Amino acid sequence: MAKNYVIARNLDLYYRKIMNICCIGAGYVGGPTMAMIASKCPDIQVAVVDINQERINAWNSANLPIYEPGLDEIVSEARGKNLFFSTEVDRYILESEIIFISVNTPTKEYGSGLGQAADLRYVESCARRIAEISKSPKIIVEKSTVPVRTAQMVKTILASTSHQFQHQIVSNPEFLAEGTAVKDLLSPDRVLIGGDLTPEGQIAVGKVSSIYENWIKKDRIITTNLWSSELSKLTANAFLAQRISSINAISALCEETEANVDEVAQAIGADSRIGPKFLKSSIGFGGSCFQKDILNLCYLCRYFRLPEVAEYWEQVIRMNEYQKERFVRRILDSMFNTVSGKRIAILGYAFKKDTNDARESPAIGICKRLLEEKAHLAIYDPKVSRQTILNSLGIKEDQANSIDFCKSATEACQDSHCIAILTEWDEFKNIDYEDIYKNMVKPAILFDGRNLLDIEMIRLIGFVAKGIGIS
């Protein structure tokens, strides 16, 4: 009898329209994901809440806190109708049936697991808050990237509060890449939803799935158990980063052997078993995810006493560091081993094109090294702010004597000894390099850290030009 009641109640919950959902964390993931849900599901009221008032103000203004092609349009269409940005975290926890947690999970900077483990304190505090104040059962969705078994921690917290609601935990990692967030959210390769294999767990998975089914075909929605879903996100990022480190390792060999890394990438990528994506050799991968998630994966492996597995993945990061250092060394070598007092134009600072994000950007390490060598940097990035650059370099405004912040690539290159392209912004392809060449100190040197330009054409102009994996 009691069992039938539970099933009937759950079915009722399942078929009732989801009306209110919220997302804690209005960051690069939470903001765009919720904007897409609001835009595709007019029947759902979506609230994005954050403790950072400034960020929420920006989401409510004409100047969104993050730059993503196409994002302005979907936010301005839905905002105020069924999409709300607010700092009223408790209010929206109370009102929502489904709560996404999309707070940051940085690498730990203290104590046990320092420099490797994911810092889960924000996820934990969200779980505690939900447990403390909820007056109805919730579906809690882990959107943040978390180590496998995090849901166990969330469950324990929820179970240890005085309220006896049967909250459900669902893992629904986000695979969007920055710069293409809107496109990725609109037509993802897959949506992954993991839940408990109990009837209640499966109902929760079904409910989260029903949101996405508003615009994504069901055969693109993969459902798994909780732990597979959590682990798949770390694994996907580790595999993607591994491909970049693999091709970057080969780039070093290309430079010694007159092979061309882009040609090698094309040749191997044509093999359908390998595939062409994520084989672009570069100054190394950046962004908030790859390094953090691999470090986290390695930490987990060591925790579970699998040191060989940890060492295998650590090598992906080591290769990435090597690639950045190698780039700086090549600049130094071609500038007679000294850049002291020389003006170096830095074109691009974001970790990739079409974003204003510079977290873990390879540009940070490269610029730091060049500053150590006493170079004078002239930095231009179309979207990354001066403040973000200074913060990432750990330099105060009044100590930035060795850096010019430029308003265009042309201004940065004027009177420079060397140009270093660090982000593959499209606009760098269309600069008049002949004109730039005339206004540079000779020999004019150009390092294309993204193999963006036709290096032969650049050499014909007169530049001493080098790419990655091209001798």
CB of 471 to ligand UDX, least distance (A): 20
Tracing tokens 């060999």 back to the chain, one arrives at: 253
Q: Among residues 204 and 234, whose Cβ is nearest to ligand UDX?
A: 234
Q: Are strands 168-171 and 191-195 parallel, antiparallel or unpaired?
A: antiparallel
Three-state secondary-structure class, residue 448: strand
In the chain, the amino acid numbered 451 is: N
Count H helices and E strands in the chain, helices first.
18, 14
Q: How many residues does the chain have?
A: 471
Q: Among residues 130 and 289, whose Cβ is nearest to ligand UDX?
A: 289
Residue 350: its H or E element:
none
Which residues have CB under 8 Å from 366's CB, separation 6+? 283, 324, 327, 328, 420, 422, 449
CB 185 within 8 A of CB 210: no
CB of 9 to ligand UDX, least distance (A): 32
Residue 41 catalytic? no
CA distance 101 to 90: 13
DSSP labels for 273-297?
A: TT-STT----S---SSSHHHHHHHH
Q: Among residues 17 and 277, whose Cβ is nearest to ligand UDX?
A: 277
Tracing tokens 């970057």 back to the chain, one arrives at: 248
Q: Among residues 376 and 428, whose Cβ is nearest to ligand UDX?
A: 428
CB of 344 to ligand UDX, least distance (A): 20
Three-state secondary-structure class, residue 464: strand
CB 388 within 8 A of CB 356: yes
Q: Among residues 200 and 360, whose Cβ is nearest to ligand UDX?
A: 360
CB of 390 to ligand UDX, least distance (A): 19
Interacting residues toward ligand UDX by CB under 6 A: 24-30, 50-52, 55, 102-105, 122, 125-126, 144-145, 174-178, 237, 240, 244, 278-280, 282, 285-290, 351-352
CB 99 within 8 A of CB 141: yes
Q: Where are the beta strands (DSSP E) in 165-220?
A: 168-171, 191-195
CA torsion, points 240, 244, 247, 249, in degrees to nearest 10? -120
Q: Among residues 200 and 424, whose Cβ is nearest to ligand UDX?
A: 424
CB of 186 to ligand UDX, least distance (A): 15
CB of 288 to ligand UDX, least distance (A): 5
CA distance 44 to 32: 16
Catalytic residue among 289, 298, 367, 413: 289
CA distance 357 to 180: 13
In the chain, the amino acid numbered 375 is: A
CB of 31 to ligand UDX, least distance (A): 7
CA distance 299 to 303: 6
Q: Among residues 207 and 352, whose Cβ is nearest to ligand UDX?
A: 352
Tokens standing for 326?
Answer: 């190698």
Q: Could you give the residue numbers annotated as active site? A: 289
